[in-house]
Structure 1
Amino acid sequence: MYYCHCSMCRKATGSAFATNMLVRETDFTVKTGRSVIKAFQSSPGESRYFCSECGSPIYSKAQAREGIVSVRCGTIDDDLTVRPTEHIYTASKARWFEICDQLPQYPEEPEP
């Protein structure tokens, strides 16, 4: 789980950052509402999936991360056992937002 400050995540959430979690696609299941999830290509090789009824962003998939989905944690109702571990793309974070925690910060996406 991580905080992403890239401009695309900021625009997709309408906030200073998105809280995302990388999950193996084989471990990811949409339990309800699958029929109303729509996709759009947000950039070459990346698609974002959202609820076509309320507009909520649900997850994204990128060719560069084959077999992995990036889940928008704000859409999960249950408490998660994991917590955010880092801030990524801080080079493009909102200038009006100050990061106040002690988590590692990366100007871009760190190497795995």
Structure 2
Amino acid sequence: MSEPALTGGCLCGAVRFEISEPLSEAGHCHCTRCQRRTGTASSAAGLTVPGSFRITQGAEHVRAWHPDRGFDKGFCSACGGHLFARDPGDDTVVAVRLGAIDGDPGVRPSYHQFTAFAAPWQPLPDDGLPRHPERRPR
């Protein structure tokens, strides 16, 4: 069996995961949900190849918030660490929080989405990445 491409987990270590293939892309989300969920101006997440994400430890600690629209938000019930978001219509589509990954995730954010909702107290960076006022088109 080959080594996973990436590993990661929550703040307290109760939940661990692995990603068997490199992330396909990453981006910054500036939506109000991400701001309130993280307490920051945006959330950086990387998209996994369908079927490559697996919880290896502490599945019993994972809880999810299921918003009316949008991806389900997975977090550790012990420490509150944000781990991933999952498409409620296709649970193989998972976006992992880059900060939950051990070391270098191997991909850099390549866009900003929901910029129309960006926090007024933190200007959007002038980083040359494409900006999308709503969800980025796929």
Q: What RMSD in Å do the two structures reach over aligned CA positions?
A: 1.8
Give 5+ residue unaligned stretches, structure 1. none
Q: Higher helix fraction: Structure 1 or Structure 2?
A: 1
- By how many angstroms is 1:14 displaced? 0.6
Letter in 1 for 2:133: P
> Identity across aligned pairs (percent)?
33
> Residues 65, 87 of structure 1: CA spacing in aligned structure 2 closer, same or farther, 3 A cutoff?
farther
Letter in 2 for 1:51: C
- By how many angstroms is 1:36 displaced? 1.0
Match of 1:111 in 2: 137
| Aligned with residue 59 of structure 1, among 84, 102, 105 | 84
Q: TM-score of the superposition, structure 1-length normalised?
A: 0.88
Deviates more, 1:18-27 or 1:7-16: 18-27
Q: Higher strand fraction: Structure 1 or Structure 2?
A: 2
- What secondary structure sits across from 1:26 in the alignment? coil
- Give the count of matched residue pairs: 112
Give 5+ residue unaligned stretches, structure 2. 1-25
- What secondary structure sits across from 1:30 in the alignment? strand
Match of 1:43 in 2: 68
Q: TM-score of the superposition, structure 2-length normalised?
A: 0.73
